[in-house]
Amino acid sequence: MIIEILRNRVNQAIIAAFGAEYGEIDTLVVPASNPRFGDYQCNVALSLAKKLQQKPRAIASQIADNLNVTSICQPPTIAGPGFINFTLLASYLETQLEKIQRDPRLGVEQVKNPQKTVVDFSSPNIAKEMHVGHLRSTIIGDSIARILEFRGHQVLRLNHVGDWGTQFGMLIAYLREAYPTALTTANALDLGDLVSLYKKAKLRFDDDEEFRHSARQEVVKLQSGAEDSRHGWELLCNQSRREFQTIYNILDIKLTERGESFYNPLLPGIVEELSRQGLLAESEGAKCVFLEGFTNKTGSPQPLIVQKTDGGYNYATTDLAALNYRIQQDKAQKIIYVTDAGQTNHFAGVFQVAQRAGMLPEGVEVKHVPFGLVLGENGKKLQTRSGETVRLRDLLTEAVSGAKKDLEARLVIENRQETPEFINKVAQVVGIGAVKYADLSQNRTSDYSFSYDKMLALQGNTAPYMLYAYVRVQGISRKGNINLDNLPSRSVELEQPEELILAKHILRLNEVLGEVEQDLLPNRLCQYLFELSQKFNLFYDRTPVLKAPEPQRTSRLVLSDLTARTLKLGLSLLGIEVLERM
């Protein structure tokens, strides 16, 4: 990683100039904000000024005098009040590109200390259809898991499905009256029908005291293991799993299901442990832990309820049990929860209680990865015309259909004939890739507006734009009848500005993935890939490749191949497939 090498060299120069006591200071080497300042800049002189009682520019000069970067950069320059600017040598870039040319990882290092990491994502509810609200958790969580796995961490991908609780009591009680065969026969009802029946059950539960009592009795029967209740529950869960798996297959998502029911036997032990630690209190008949630093609307301490007045448990209890199990049994060193931003306070409370109870030891990191809403183009919550939440399957089907229409229209304009298999394959890859990229390219903490037209566009920061850049390289290979895998090594010569710009960007992949691993913001990788596509297209338009004389021809083929391989790797880490032709 070039930036790490520069940071180390700056650190050595600081020690040489000012002494070992300054060896731990952050060197503040970052990519240059403007290309006219070079490729990287160092602002450490400004932060040292107060400690050394010297002017920043004088400090920068002393650091520069002690820098050993002659094989990497042109002589460093000092700008403004004390910025040190670095411009990489073409010879250094050539050497680095030749190193990664035969490396399937393209120079991306694996972490020295891999962690056992749990990524908790997707988490739909049994007996309900996956809707657009599940899209973000599913694809953000998958991308984070892919990146951590590629970096060398051991990742356990967990699907914490909602398969337990009062909602099943309501549904089973209603089905006993309306459709009893659904509790004895597999697939007696479609999942869509179950969703409709659940809504009716919820209305009955809210308005009918007798039905409410029946539903609660069903919960008790289910929790106590009554055979008929358990059998009906399992039928409902299996039917939902099959529907979920259809969506996961379309999105190429791999998950291990471990739902709320898995932790149900552990919940009494959680309450007992909280009591043993002296944390448990009673509030209006419920058992809870009063949170430090959290207050309710009246200014009183906010309780985290772990056992309700009727003796039942809730999400907080289950999440505490899950966290404890993941640490004690899964041996997780890091646990990442990918859920909507509305659950931020919930997880803050759970983490606090776990820490105070000794369930969360030092050395284990827990992190909530929040995300915003998916909005319609009108800036309001994305819904159907009837006001219903958009089903995820419908959203994906529409994206593939839109990609197919765009492709068929383009084929007519270009007077191209393609097989139905080709058209369907391209539509599937482009449509699903467009949906994923449109989401992942946004800062996950923000809401974003969903637009089929924008996400399927061939221009702009879209998946089709990235895929088209990849296809361009494959077109060069086909047109020149060249096997890009057999290009000679030690064959890179960078002369033109477009070549240098592209080379520098290719070599930043390791740096960018290191950043994403730390901040868990996949949009950083999206932005890197978008800029890579832009820089390649500029290079492609301004510098001939196949018609260039040797050795420029081979050198530019290597640059093109490295671009395509970087795009393919980067998109795969976002869960997006590439195409050889479009």
If asked whether residues 450 and 551 sit together in one domain, one would say yes
- pLDDT value for 220: 80
For the stretch 174-212, pLDDT in tens is 999 888 888 888 888 787 788 888 888 889 999 989 998
In a domain, 67, yes or no: yes
In a domain, 323, yes or no: no
For the stretch 33-43, pLDDT in tens is 888 889 999 99
If asked whether residues 84 and 219 sit together in one domain, one would say no
In a domain, 74, yes or no: yes
What CATH number corresponds to the domain at position 7?
3.30.1360.70
Domain final residue pick, 198, 224, 257:
257
- pLDDT value for 376: 86
If asked whether residues 189 and 79 sit together in one domain, one would say no
User: Three-state SS across 204-248?
Assistant: HHHHCHHHHHHHHHHHHHHHHCCHHHHHHHHHHHHHHHHHHHHHH
- pLDDT value for 191: 75
**Residue carrying structure tokens 């089905």:** 175
Six token digits for residue 122: 């997707």
In a domain, 513, yes or no: yes
Q: Which domain holds residue 24?
A: 2-88
If asked whether residues 60 and 189 sit together in one domain, one would say no
In a domain, 291, yes or no: no
What is the Cα–Cα distance from 336 to 520, expressed in whole angstroms?
10
If asked whether residues 557 and 436 sit together in one domain, one would say yes
Could you tell me the pTM of the whole model? Answer: 0.93
What CATH number corresponds to the domain at position 532?
1.10.730.10
Q: Which segments of the chain have a pLDDT < 50?
A: none
Residues contacting 355, CB < 8 A, separation 6+ = none
Cα angle for residues 437, 373, 131 (degrees, 5° grid): 80
If asked whether residues 192 and 61 sit together in one domain, one would say no
In a domain, 114, yes or no: no
If asked whether residues 45 and 188 sit together in one domain, one would say no
What is the Cα–Cα distance from 170 to 198, expressed in whole angstroms?
8
Cis bond leading into 31, ω under 30°? no
What is the Cα–Cα distance from 271 to 265, expressed in whole angstroms?
12
What is the Cα–Cα distance from 522 to 503, expressed in whole angstroms?
22
If asked whether residues 421 and 569 sit together in one domain, one would say yes
**Residue carrying structure tokens 């209740």:** 229
If asked whether residues 396 and 522 sit together in one domain, one would say yes
Burial of 421 from C-beta contacts in 10 A (0-12 / 13-18 / 19+) = exposed
End-to-end CA distance of the chain: 34
Q: What is the DSSP letter of 48?
A: H
Please give the tally of structural domains in the chain. Answer: 3
What is the Cα–Cα distance from 216 to 173, expressed in whole angstroms?
9
If asked whether residues 81 and 175 sit together in one domain, one would say no
In a domain, 268, yes or no: no
User: Three-state SS across 251-265?
Assistant: HCCCCEECCHHHHHH
What is the Cα–Cα distance from 300 to 294, expressed in whole angstroms?
8
If asked whether residues 68 and 175 sit together in one domain, one would say no
Domain final residue pick, 206, 229, 257:
257
If asked whether residues 554 and 446 sit together in one domain, one would say yes
Domain final residue pick, 207, 235, 257:
257
In a domain, 55, yes or no: yes
What is the Cα–Cα distance from 529 to 511, expressed in whole angstroms?
13
